[in-house]
Amino acid sequence: MSSFELQAENISKVFGRRLIFKDVDFSCKGNGIYGISGPNGSGKSTFLKIITGIISPTKGKVTHYFDGKLIESEDLHNFIGFVAPYVILYDEFTAVENIHFFSKIRGINFTQEKLDFLFQHFGLFDRKNDLVKGYSSGMKQRLKFIFALIHSPKILFFDEPTSNLDNSGKEKVYQTVKEESQNNIVIIASNEDSDLAICSSVLELQDFKNSKTDNK
Amino acid sequence: MIWKIVLFLLLAFVSVAGIAFPIVVKPEHWYEFPMIMGLGENAKIIFFHVPTAWLTVIAFFMSTVYSVKYLRNKDLVDDIKAHSAAQIGMVFCILATITGAVWAKFAWGSYWSWDPRQTSIFALLLIYGALFALRSAVEVEEKRAALSAVYSIIAFVTVPFFIFIMPRIMRGLHPGSADDTNAGTVVNFKMNGNMLLIFFLSLIGFTILYYWMWYVGYKSMLYKEKLNKQYH
Amino acid sequence: MSAYALFKKDLASELRTRYAINSLVMFIVVTISVILFSIGNEKISDFLSGGLFWVVIFFSAMSGLSRAFVSEEERGTTLTLQLIASPTTIFSGKLLFNLILVFAMNIVIAALYSTLFEAFVIKNVSLFLYAFILGNIGIAIASTLIASIIAKASSKGTLYPVLSFPILLPLMLTLIDLTKQAMDTTTFSSSYVELAILGCYDVVMIAASFMLFDFIWKD
């Protein structure tokens, strides 16, 4: 079975003069649900962006492997599904148009069945041909999940996945997470206890905040 | 310390020699310069104008080299070195433009005539200005360093188009360009021994001055950074 | 192809919202009008009209070509793009969009200009065409790269021409010279070097852009 592996070693990030975290190690392989927790401002989103390869760490190394082979950063994007409050979709297009454009740009194909299934699963089937401009924040959040899953990624990153969602929405998310985690890696960054409860292990980012000033 | 004294003496000698030594038709003493047709007394500006122009290009080249280094290692010290070189390059560029315009007034009659070399030095001035405008528009250190580095490199890539291609194609008044039959290549053939000596001494002196200014510049920026970082 | 898909996305977005096209057309009209008014009834030489032609093109480019990256940055969709494509794809797609835009814009400008300025008469049309095509490609490449730089900075509107002008200057000088020659002679012989310069500029710029874009795009 093909498997994805992520390794992050000695990750530190400094913004200007502020140290966010220092010497964080994190690794995962194959499948499972991993959690990253920490209060607001502890750098959860930053850490998630670093291990996804979106931003670079100040120190440390992040590597991704698929079937034992190293994946270069230019090829990484189709292995990854990313859901976060700060992911923005194009509101001048309809939901379906967004997904179509993204898939063409990714260079992947999907079946109409899969598209319909995902829209049904997240309760957006009736509104799939409406402009995203008219979507509520909860609907946008659910559309982001469709965006993250349509290309069958091997590793999923969810930053505050249940924000803006009602209870049925949250249930859908947990159900999706559990299904995906059978064969793929799911990483959740959150403060919510219910989100972290389904994780098999949780990385507490607060532990890595070294508030001693660097003396050189 | 010894270098500073050597530099001071060198530049003092060059300044005095460059300005005070008389130009006569038939030089007899060691401190006299020959007359060059078409230039006369104005030839003395060569001791100051050419080094500044030479150095502004060297500074730009250095800035680009450190920019490339920064993009490879992401070490912010390289960015500071590039920035220091650009600052001094800007100063020398302004000096070169002004001394060039003064020479142009005496030799060709007007301060500015869009001769290819004048256009090139003006373009370099615009590049420096753009670089500083870019730096002041980006707050985040690493982003600022990366963007300035990329811009320096792109600007450097356009420099050959100016410096080598333009003068060959376009007609100009500058000594040494396609049209000028009078002054020719002033440096090589018409300057006699002692003029050449003063010229090269000036070049060397200014180069050492540049290197020293660059060194002091980047070190002081480094220390300022370190001091800022200590007060969290 | 991924880059082509990105171009189609931008095109579809533009056709649907028409944010940029409207203001761009008006900008061209305004710029040409300003020049017409400042000239008044004076007769201008053909060389001068040739130079002014490229002035209009430059400022129109500055008005329209930054949208490719700035709109993504302002809406927050830069991250979305980073998640779906490699930097090379992004640059290729945006470059393709700007190429089409530059050609469309400049054909309109050339048409308007030749009708409104009687002094603008091209004798050697094929020379002008070669220069026009190579020049537009160069403008598109350089402008796209600089647009990606300023998208990450503040005061983007004023910074864009400031950064673009030095980079585009060799291109502009050569184009103005070639336009002069196209108005003057009807032979190609003296223009080969300049056309070669244009070609070199295009090749060098595109190579440098692809190599450097990664550093601009990735944080």
Cα distance between residue C60 and residue C30, in whole Å: 10
C-alpha dihedral over C14, C18, C19, C23, to 10 degrees?
120
Query: Pick the residue with more confidence: B192 or A113?
Result: A113
- Name which of B76, B43, B168 is nearest B117 in CA terms: B168
CB contact under 8 A, B74 and A56: yes
C114 touches chain A (CB under 8 A): no
Within 8 A of C86 by CB-CB distance, chain A residues are: 74-75, 77
Find the helix packing angle between C46-64 and C156-184, rounded to 10°.
Answer: 150
Number of Cβ pairs closer than 8 Å across A and C? 67
Give which of A17, A54, A61 to mutate to test B binding, by max B Cβ within 10 Å.
Answer: A17
- Name which of A23, A27, A8, A85 is nearest A209 in CA terms: A23
- ipTM tops 0.90: yes
Say whether pLDDT at C55 is over 50: yes
Q: What is the pLDDT along chain B (232 residues), one digit of tens a residue?
A: 787 888 888 888 878 777 777 666 666 666 666 666 656 666 777 788 888 999 999 999 999 999 999 999 999 999 999 999 999 999 999 999 998 888 888 777 888 877 777 888 888 999 999 999 999 999 999 999 999 999 999 999 998 887 655 654 555 445 544 444 333 334 334 566 777 788 888 888 889 899 999 999 999 999 998 888 775 5
Whether residue A203 contacts residue A173, with contact meaning beta carbons closer than 8 Å, is answered with: no
Condensed to tens digits (0 to 9), the pLDDT of residues C98-115 reads: 999 999 999 999 999 989
Cα distance between residue B83 and residue B88, in whole Å: 9
Q: What pLDDT, on the 0 to 100 scale, is given for residue C208? A: 97
Q: What pLDDT, on the 0 to 100 scale, is given for residue B170? A: 57
Q: What pLDDT, on the 0 to 100 scale, is given for residue A39? A: 87
Q: What pLDDT, on the 0 to 100 scale, is given for residue A210? A: 62
Q: What pLDDT, on the 0 to 100 scale, is given for residue B34? A: 67
Using a pLDDT cut of 70, give the percent of chain C over it: 100
What is the maximum alpha-carbon separation in chain A? 61
At B205, the amino acid letter reads: G
Q: What pLDDT, on the 0 to 100 scale, is given for residue B105? A: 82
CB contact under 8 A, A77 and C84: yes
> Three-state DSSP class for A94?
strand
Give the DSSP letter of residue A160.
S
The distance from CA C21 to its chain's CA centroid, rounded to whole angstroms, is 14
Say whether pLDDT at C150 is over 90: yes
Pairing of strands A32-37, A18-29: unpaired
Whether residue B149 contacts residue B71, with contact meaning beta carbons closer than 8 Å, is answered with: yes
What distance in Å separates residue C16's CA from the closest CA in chain B? 32
Say whether pLDDT at A216 is over 80: no
Give the DSSP letter of residue B161.
I
HSE (side-chain half, CA atoms, 13 Å) at B26: 0
Q: What pLDDT, on the 0 to 100 scale, is given for residue C189? A: 76
What distance in Å separates residue A40's CA from the closest CA in chain B? 20
C154 touches chain B (CB under 8 A): yes
C43 touches chain A (CB under 8 A): no
What distance in Å separates residue A148's CA from the closest CA in chain C? 10
What distance in Å separates residue C9's CA from the closest CA in chain A? 6
CB contact under 8 A, A105 and C219: no
Find the helix packing angle between B141-160 and B116-136, rounded to 10°.
Answer: 170
Cα distance between residue C180 and residue C187, in whole Å: 13
Chains that contact B by 3+ CB pairs under 8 Å?
A: A, C
**What is the H or E stretch that residue A199 is in?**
none
How does C147-166 read in b/e, with b if 16+ C-beta sit within 10 Å? bbbbbbbeebeebbbbbbbb
What's the predicted TM-score (pTM) here?
A: 0.90
Within 8 A of B134 by CB-CB distance, chain C residues are: 149-150, 153, 159, 163
Q: What pLDDT, on the 0 to 100 scale, is given for residue A72? A: 92
Condensed to tens digits (0 to 9), the pLDDT of residues A168-212 reads: 999 999 999 999 999 999 999 998 888 999 999 999 988 887 654
CB contact under 8 A, A56 and C218: yes
Q: What pLDDT, on the 0 to 100 scale, is given for residue B184? A: 34
- From the list C152, C169, C194, which residue is nearest B147 (CB)? C152
Condensed to tens digits (0 to 9), the pLDDT of residues C189-203 reads: 778 888 889 999 999
CB contact under 8 A, B134 and C197: no
At B117, the amino acid letter reads: R
- From the list B123, B153, B165, which residue is nearest C212 (CB)? B153
Whether residue A68 contacts residue A40, with contact meaning beta carbons closer than 8 Å, is answered with: no
What distance in Å separates residue C203's CA from the closest CA in chain B? 11
C159 touches chain B (CB under 8 A): yes
- Name which of B226, B222, B205 is nearest B83 in CA terms: B222
- From the list A15, A17, A56, which residue is nearest B229 (CB)? A17
Condensed to tens digits (0 to 9), the pLDDT of residues C2-27 reads: 999 999 999 999 999 887 888 899 99
Name the B residues in 140-179 with CB < 8 Å from any C CB. Answer: 142-143, 146-147, 149-151, 153-155, 157-158, 161-162, 165-166, 169-170
Number of Cβ pairs closer than 8 Å across B and C? 82
Cα distance between residue B218 and residue B70, in whole Å: 15
Which pair of tokens denotes residue A129?
């041909």
CB contact under 8 A, C76 and A75: no
- Name which of C67, C43, C34 is nearest C157 in CA terms: C67
Nearest-Cα residue of chain B relative to residue C164: B130
Pairing of strands A69-70, A201-204: unpaired
Query: Pick the residue with more confidence: C124 or B24?
Result: C124
What distance in Å separates residue C73's CA from the closest CA in chain B? 14
What distance in Å separates residue A55's CA from the closest CA in chain B? 11
Within 8 A of C165 by CB-CB distance, chain B residues are: 126, 130
Cα distance between residue C165 and residue C172, in whole Å: 9
* Beta strands in B17-116, from DSSP E residues, in sequence order: 23-24, 33-34
CB contact under 8 A, B147 and C153: yes
CB contact under 8 A, B228 and A213: no
Work out the average pLDDT over A96-124: 93
Q: Which residue has the tokens 């336009």?
A: C179
CB contact under 8 A, B161 and C193: no
- As a 3-state breakdown, chain B gives helix, strand, coil percent values, each rounded to 5, of 75, 0, 20
Using a pLDDT cut of 90, give the percent of chain A over it: 74
